[in-house]
């Protein structure tokens, strides 16, 4: 053995040592990819800023045009299909579903917005019909209550809360709370149970779904005159935890802080769900990987006619025996103007957009609503499989709503999944928030998500390969105090008719974004249009 | 200081160390070979033969070393430290593949043998001018044999039980490296060279120490104590930690630390799982579905019925089925059941499999781990059993593992109640398995299913079940009697928390 061998041996040992050090201290880290998606505010704002279509060279004809493919528009198309009516669906976005949009890239489909449906009340007839058609409703028990497909109810464990540096197996970390918190929680539960079964003087339930079936008892409607925060004060709920818990709910359903939401809406959230069956002893949330996108997919799958994306509708006006729809086709490099003359039109879009399309007299019938901005992020992660992972993970003391696991309903264990992170911006100053969000880039929004989750998941960046972010400038109507009277008609009364052959189907009508509301408004508008067209749509689905 | 005064005692002392460590490495190799490849007589015989032969090669080769004998001596000692010290970890890493294991085993034995074989003649030559030949040979050889005695007592009585095979290997390597280091101080080496060699010794010692620390960090030693017997196979799949331990008489399989079977009494479990169900069916089944049971032990019992045409075994984890198809020790336990041409192994999620398959089965064997977490718990829900119901042929039966009716009484009866709610007639059963305690199953079938009275397999083939013992399986004494607990559904899974509480009580 000469010096060369000695050198080799030393080199080898050095190499082993170096490799070990590198392996331990410098794990190779791939950069996180991602994209910023968003309801097309740039295109949409063209309309706000007065974009007008040039005249189309030819006029297309259609039976019924539906503008907007969210839950309302899809429900209308579904209802009309059952009456044998053909529809043409015009959608601005490249994707369908509105705020029930979903993604299918990655290991599992995932929601971009509305991500669960609480088991609907027996009174939500349209939605129950839909679920039955989908096979999600499997039958009715002796008490007349619906039974659901067990696999679609959120598998246990459904939720957990990160509080005081650790996970608790429910949103209420009983072991970590002060006696006063627990007393107030118990009292809140009592109030909730009272309202759940309370019947107003008009014989209607105090709170139910669809909203329009709720009681008009003035004493109950008075709750709409104050904010949820004021109501909590009045009722003596001062526990920080209880107020966090209630605000989590108002953010989740309305995107609003306690100080900017009607107490009627806040209590409705807690007290409107009535269904109690053996089956719903556990979670009563219907959860699919793509969230409520699953419902929209089915609705759209049943429609007669077809759907066109990248269509910016600029004008909807009544003409003799019909409606003229002007639009810009944005599919190509330059916008192409088109004109469609339809026998009738359903506007399944928010009021603030619809009023820019129609004649001023018609616009007056549209209810203006404040809307809450949201940011939704989908994180594609690979990490060790946790057999006890909850569907919904919430962080106490975080401005976000936490995240859900899109892969939760799979039975096959997997290390790969998509986590959907939700943040609603609940402050009263929605315009400033929107302006700020629109100005921010992907990197800033994505790192916000990681920072938000860092207390519970400091290593998350290492297991994440992709973060896509969606900014929803106008995610949902915000039921501010007085929202029940904002429609310019009697509280809780809605009317789909905008003009002779133009109907409106949107949750802005109730001011409250629930799938059942969207579905109900879609069906109601469709049945009205069928009637106008003289089509026999059979008995009402509502 | 006259360094030369220390030379003879130092060299002779190192003879003991070399002899001891050399034999320990040989014993480590033999032990691992018999764990992995089975047939310990043959394995020990091969390892010893090869080792002695390699020593011969080394001794012969020693004549080619002509210069710098002291330096070579230290270098070889260091090489022994490195190869021997890491022999067990290296063999451990190539465990899964029988082919690679053999190659690694024989290379390691050959290499250590050659190195040790070089060392003794070198020593003799280093001492040749200090002692008369007769004294020299007498001392060196006697110390060599004393070292061997030392090793053969130390290894089985102290090292293996106290430190486990991995740590023994690395710590003995460390001893070799330290002896080499000491030698650089005691032997008259050229100054500059000595420092360089000391650095090498320190590096090798450090590497071995790091090995021990890393090993501790990965808690393998803790597991060895936890499992109560040496681990002979261990791997982490995406789904679970798989550990096989082997003591003198028994082989045990653990999934996520939970005992799945012990080879000394698993026949009670598996005979009870299979033969009463076949008897209740009334004829040997043709089409059988086994869900879970990747160890192949249930399949082994099924293959006693020649009429069986096809068995589909669905087990999620290929890491489990691969072990029981490939590793000789594991393959011997199931008598190569998973290699039988009538058996199809599918590594799929059982839930999803029941969704896609359209076949009907005369017999379905459901043998999952206990519902200790929400992922496994899904396989104990109404939804799962409803799917199962669809796949059991009209006059077919299913037999379902449902944890202990004694230790987890509410869990057992909740599983039974849930199965019954999926439109099955149920006949709960229990059996005593010493390593588990009282264990329970639910025999499930269509209307009119009756408890079996005779067996359809010759009793002489079985070790536990006989027709006379059948009625006892279906009789539940008072402390295991039915309790009314409700149904386990996917959206609630009370079974997981009840199960966890019940077992926690017994472990306290």
The answer to whether residues B46 and B179 belong to one domain is yes
Chain segment B9-68, per-residue pLDDT in tens: 777 888 888 889 999 999 999 888 876 666 677 888 889 999 999 999 999 999 898 888
CB A253 within 8 A of CB A99: no
The answer to whether residues B196 and B251 belong to one domain is no
| ipTM exceeds 0.90, yes or no | no
Confidence at B476, pLDDT banded by 50, 70, 90: very high
Say whether pLDDT at A15 is over 50.
no
pLDDT of A5: 34
Cβ atoms within 10 Å of B210's Cβ, excluding its own: 15
| Cα–Cα distance measured from residue A526 to residue B374, given in angstroms and rounded to the nearest whole number | 44
Confidence at A257, pLDDT banded by 50, 70, 90: very high
CB-based burial, B280-311: b 16+ in 10 Å, e otherwise: bbeebbebbbbbbbbbbbbbbbbbbbeebeeb
| Cα–Cα distance measured from residue B49 to residue B106, given in angstroms and rounded to the nearest whole number | 11
pLDDT of B2: 44
| Active site annotation includes B367 | yes
Chain B residue nearest residue A282, CA to CA: B492
The answer to whether residues B96 and B179 belong to one domain is yes
CB A38 within 8 A of CB A472: yes
The residue with greater pLDDT, A477 or B135, is A477
pLDDT of B159: 86
The answer to whether residues B389 and B245 belong to one domain is no
Helix axes A71-82, A515-532, angle to 10 degrees: 40
pLDDT of B459: 93
How much is the average pLDDT of A238-242? 96
How much is the average pLDDT of A455-474? 94
* Residue B421: both structure tokens together: 């709610």
How much is the average pLDDT of B359-380? 95
How much is the average pLDDT of A473-494? 89
| Cα–Cα distance measured from residue B400 to residue B321, given in angstroms and rounded to the nearest whole number | 20
CB B45 within 8 A of CB B39: no
CB A481 within 8 A of CB A259: no
Residue among B445, B368, B377, B433 nearest B406 (CA):
B433
First to last CA, chain A: 94
Report angle CA A301, A303, A308 to the nearest 5 degrees: 90
CB B188 within 8 A of CB B1: no
Q: Residue B32, SS3?
A: helix
pLDDT of A419: 98
The answer to whether residues B273 and B374 belong to one domain is yes
Place of tokens 């790091």: B210
* Residue A299: both structure tokens together: 């609705």
Place of tokens 């926690």: B504
Chain segment B421-448, per-residue pLDDT in tens: 999 999 999 999 998 899 999 999 999 9
- The residue range of the domain holding B300 is 265-507
Cβ atoms within 10 Å of A386's Cβ, excluding its own: 13
Say whether pLDDT at A386 is over 60.
yes
Nearest by CB to residue A13, choosing from B203, B373, B381, is: B203
Contact assignment for A388 to B200 by CB distance below 8 Å: no
Last residue of a domain, one of B218, B249, B277: B218
The answer to whether residues B243 and B356 belong to one domain is no
pLDDT of A11: 44
Say whether pLDDT at A517 is over 60.
yes
The answer to whether residues B34 and B146 belong to one domain is yes
Of B367, B423, B492, B504, which is the active-site residue?
A: B367
Strand order in the sheet with B241-246: B231-236, B241-246, B251-255, B258-262
Outline where DSSP puts E strands in A320-424.
322-329, 336-347, 371-382, 392-395, 403-405, 416-424
CB B435 within 8 A of CB B264: yes
pLDDT of A52: 62
Confidence at B139, pLDDT banded by 50, 70, 90: confident
Say whether pLDDT at A95 is over 70.
yes
The answer to whether residues B279 and B213 belong to one domain is no
How much is the average pLDDT of A38-42? 69
The answer to whether residues B323 and B370 belong to one domain is yes
pLDDT of B328: 83
Chain segment B95-137, per-residue pLDDT in tens: 655 567 788 889 999 999 999 999 888 888 888 777 788 888 8
Contact assignment for B493 to A282 by CB distance below 8 Å: yes
Rounded to the nearest integer, the mean pLDDT of chain B is 89
CB A473 within 8 A of CB A213: no
pLDDT of B39: 66
Mutation target vs B (from A7, A169, A413; most B CBs, 10 A cutoff):
A413
Q: What residues have CB less than 8 Å from A231, skipping those under 6 apart?
A: A223, A263, A266, A267
The answer to whether residues B269 and B213 belong to one domain is no
Contact assignment for A156 to B493 by CB distance below 8 Å: yes
Contact assignment for A281 to B492 by CB distance below 8 Å: yes
Helix locations, B228-317, DSSP H: 266-281, 297-302
Kindly report, as residue ranges, where domains of CATH 3.50.50.60 are found in chain A. Answer: 41-102+291-368+480-532
pLDDT of A406: 97
Provide the 8-state DSSP code for B429.
E
Chain segment B228-283, per-residue pLDDT in tens: 677 778 777 888 888 888 877 789 998 877 889 999 999 999 999 999 999 999 99
CB-based burial, A301-313: b 16+ in 10 Å, e otherwise: ebbbbebebbbbb
| Cα–Cα distance measured from residue A266 to residue A224, given in angstroms and rounded to the nearest whole number | 9
Rounded to the nearest integer, the mean pLDDT of chain A is 91
Say whether pLDDT at A8 is over 50.
no
Instruction: CATH number for A371-477: choose from 3.90.420.10, 3.30.360.10, 3.40.1390.10, 3.90.660.20.
Output: 3.90.660.20
Say whether pLDDT at A147 is over 70.
yes
Express as a percent the part of chain B with pLDDT over 70: 94
Contact assignment for A155 to B490 by CB distance below 8 Å: yes
CATH architecture observed for domain A41-102+291-368+480-532:
3-Layer(bba) Sandwich (3.50)
Residue A105: enclosing H or E segment and its boundaries?
A: none
pLDDT of A31: 87
Which residues of A lie closer than 8 Å to B, measured between beta carbons?
1, 9-10, 13, 16-17, 20, 150-151, 153-158, 278-284, 384-385, 387-389, 411-415
Say whether pLDDT at B225 is over 80.
no
pLDDT of B157: 84
Q: Residue A173, SS3?
A: coil
The residue with greater pLDDT, B313 or B192, is B313
How much is the average pLDDT of A395-409? 96
Question: What's the distance, CA A440 to chain centroid?
Answer: 22
Confidence at B158, pLDDT banded by 50, 70, 90: confident
Say whether pLDDT at B492 is over 70.
yes
CB B442 within 8 A of CB B476: no
| Cα–Cα distance measured from residue A328 to residue A417, given in angstroms and rounded to the nearest whole number | 38
Confidence at B213, pLDDT banded by 50, 70, 90: confident
Residues from chain B that touch A9, judged by Cβ atoms under 8 A, are 200
Say whether pLDDT at B1 is over 50.
no
Residues from chain B that touch A415, judged by Cβ atoms under 8 A, are 238
pLDDT of B126: 82
Say whether pLDDT at A115 is over 80.
yes
Number of domains in chain B: 3
Mutation target vs B (from A148, A158, A411; most B CBs, 10 A cutoff):
A411
pLDDT of A1: 33
Q: Residue A501, SS3?
A: coil
Question: How many Å is the Cα radius of gyration of chain A?
Answer: 26
The answer to whether residues B95 and B155 belong to one domain is yes
Residues written for chain A = 542
What is the full DSSP assignment across A22-48? HHHH----PPPB--EEES-HHHHHHHH
Q: What residues have CB less than 8 Å from B286, skipping those under 6 apart?
A: B307, B308, B309, B310, B362
The answer to whether residues B280 and B177 belong to one domain is no
Chain segment A271-314, per-residue pLDDT in tens: 999 899 999 999 999 999 999 999 999 999 999 999 999 999 99
């Amino acid at each position: 053995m000469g010096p060369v061998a000695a050198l080799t041996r030393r080199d080898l040992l050095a190499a082993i040592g170096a490799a070990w050090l590198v392996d331990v201290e410098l794990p190779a880290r791939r950069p996180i990819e991602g994209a910023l998606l968003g309801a097309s505010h740039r295109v949409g704002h063209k309309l706000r800023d007065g974009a007008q279509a040039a005249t189309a060279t030819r006029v297309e004809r259609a039976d019924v045009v539906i503008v907007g493919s969210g839950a309302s528009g899809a429900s209308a198309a579904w209802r009309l299909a059952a009456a044998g009516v053909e529809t043409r669906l015009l959608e601005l976005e490249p994707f369908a579903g509105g705020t029930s949009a979903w993604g299918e890239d990655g290991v599992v489909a995932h929601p971009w917005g509305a991500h669960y449906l609480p088991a609907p009340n027996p009174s939500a007839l349209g939605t129950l019909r839909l679920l039955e058609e989908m096979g999600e409703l499997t039958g009715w028990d002796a008490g007349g209550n619906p039974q659901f497909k067990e696999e679609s109810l959120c598998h246990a464990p459904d939720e957990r809360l990160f509080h005081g540096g650790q996970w608790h197996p429910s949103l209420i970390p009983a072991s970590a709370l002060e006696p006063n918190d627990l007393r107030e929680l118990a009292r809140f539960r009592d109030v909730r149970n009272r309202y759940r079964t309370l019947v107003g003087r008009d014989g209607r339930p105090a709170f139910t779904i669809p909203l329009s079936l709720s009681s008009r008892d003035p004493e109950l409607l008075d709750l709409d005159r104050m904010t949820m925060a004021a109501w909590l004060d009045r009722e003596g709920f001062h526990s920080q935890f209880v107020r966090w818990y209630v605000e989590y709910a108002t953010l989740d359903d309305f995107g609003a802080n306690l100080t900017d939401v009607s107490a009627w809406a806040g209590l409705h959230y807690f007290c409107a769900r009535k269904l109690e069956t053996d089956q719903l002893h556990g979670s009563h949330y219907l959860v699919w990987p793509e969230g409520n996108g699953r419902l929209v997919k089915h609705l759209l799958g049943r429609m007669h006619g077809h759907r066109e994306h990248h269509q910016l509708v600029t004008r909807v006006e009544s003409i003799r025996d019909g409606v003229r729809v002007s639009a810009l086709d944005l599919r190509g490099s330059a916008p192409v103007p088109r004109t469609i003359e339809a026998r009738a039109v359903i506007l399944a879009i928010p009021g603030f957009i619809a009023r820019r399309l129609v004649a001023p007299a018609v616009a007056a019938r549209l209810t203006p609503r404040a809307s809450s901005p949201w940011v939704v992020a989908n994180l594609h992660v690979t990490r060790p499989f946790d057999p006890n992972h909850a569907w919904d993970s919430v962080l106490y003391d975080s401005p976000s709503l936490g995240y859900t696991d899109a892969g939760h309903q799979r039975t096959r264990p997997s290390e790969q999944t998509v986590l959907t992170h939700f943040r609603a911006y609940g402050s009263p100053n929605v315009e400033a928030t929107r302006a700020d969000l629109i100005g921010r880039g992907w990197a800033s929004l994505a790192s916000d998500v990681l920072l938000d989750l860092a207390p519970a998941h400091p290593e998350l960046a290492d297991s994440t390969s992709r973060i896509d972010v969606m900014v929803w400038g106008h995610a949902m109507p915000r039921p501010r105090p007085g929202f029940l009277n904002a429609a310019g008609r009697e509280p809780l009364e809605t009317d789909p008719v905008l003009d002779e052959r133009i109907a409106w189907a949107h949750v802005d009508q109730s001011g409250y974004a629930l799938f059942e509301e969207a579905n109900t408004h879609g069906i109601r508008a469709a049945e009205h249009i069928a009637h106008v067209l003289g089509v026999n749509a059979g008995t009402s689905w509502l | 200081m006259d360094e030369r005064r220390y030379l003879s005692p130092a060299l002779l002392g190192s003879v003991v160390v070399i002899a001891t460590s050399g034999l320990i490495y040989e014993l480590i190799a033999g032990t691992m070979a018999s764990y992995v490849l089975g047939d310990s007589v043959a394995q020990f015989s091969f390892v010893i033969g090869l080792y002695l032969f390699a020593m011969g090669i080394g001794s012969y080769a020693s004549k080619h070393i002509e210069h710098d004998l002291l330096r070579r001596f230290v270098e070889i000692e260091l090489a022994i430290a490195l190869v021997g010290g890491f022999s067990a970890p290296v063999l451990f890493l190539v465990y899964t593949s029988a082919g690679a294991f053999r190659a690694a085993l024989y290379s390691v034995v050959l290499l250590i043998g050659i190195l040790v074989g070089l060392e003794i003649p070198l020593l003799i030559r280093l001492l040749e001018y200090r002692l008369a030949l007769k004294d020299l040979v007498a001392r060196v050889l006697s110390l060599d044999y004393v070292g061997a005695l030392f090793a053969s007592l130390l290894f089985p009585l102290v090292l293996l039980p106290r430190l486990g095979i991995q740590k023994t290997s690395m710590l003995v390597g460390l001893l070799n490296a330290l002896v080499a280091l000491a030698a650089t101080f005691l032997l008259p080496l050229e100054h500059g060279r000595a420092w360089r060699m000391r650095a090498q010794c320190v590096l090798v010692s450090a590497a071995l120490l790091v090995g021990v620390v890393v090993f501790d960090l990965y808690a393998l030693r803790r597991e060895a104590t936890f499992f109560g017997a040496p681990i002979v196979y261990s791997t982490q799949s995406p789904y679970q930690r798989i550990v096989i331990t082997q003591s003198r008489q028994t082989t045990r399989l653990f999934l996520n630390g939970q005992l799945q079977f012990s080879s000394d009494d698993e026949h009670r479990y598996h005979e009870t799982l299979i033969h009463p169900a076949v008897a209740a069916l009334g004829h040997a089944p043709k089409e059988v579905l086994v869900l879970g049971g990747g160890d192949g032990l249930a399949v082994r019992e099924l293959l006693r019925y020649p009429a069986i045409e096809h068995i589909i075994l669905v087990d999620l984890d290929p890491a489990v089925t691969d072990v029981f198809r490939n590793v000789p020790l594991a393959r011997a336990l199931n008598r190569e059941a998973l290699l039988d041409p009538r058996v199809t192994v599918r590594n799929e999620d059982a839930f999803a499999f029941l969704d896609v398959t359209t076949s009907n089965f005369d017999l379905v064997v459901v043998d999952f781990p206990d519902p200790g977490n929400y992922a496994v718990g899904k396989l104990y829900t109404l939804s799962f059993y409803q799917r199962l119901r669809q796949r059991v042929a009209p006059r077919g039966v299913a037999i379902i593992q449902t944890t202990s009716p004694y230790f987890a009484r509410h869990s057992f009866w909740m599983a039974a109640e849930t199965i019954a709610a999926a439109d099955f007639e149920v006949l709960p059963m229990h059996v005593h398995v010493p390593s588990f305690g009282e264990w329970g199953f639910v025999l499930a079938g269509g209307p009119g299913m009756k408890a079996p009275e005779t067996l359809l397999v010759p009793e002489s083939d079985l070790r536990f079940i006989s027709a006379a013992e059948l009625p006892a399986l279906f009789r539940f004494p008072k402390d295991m009697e039915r309790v009314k607990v409700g149904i386990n559904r996917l959206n609630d899974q009370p079974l997981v928390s009840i199960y966890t509480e019940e077992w926690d009580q017994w472990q306290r």
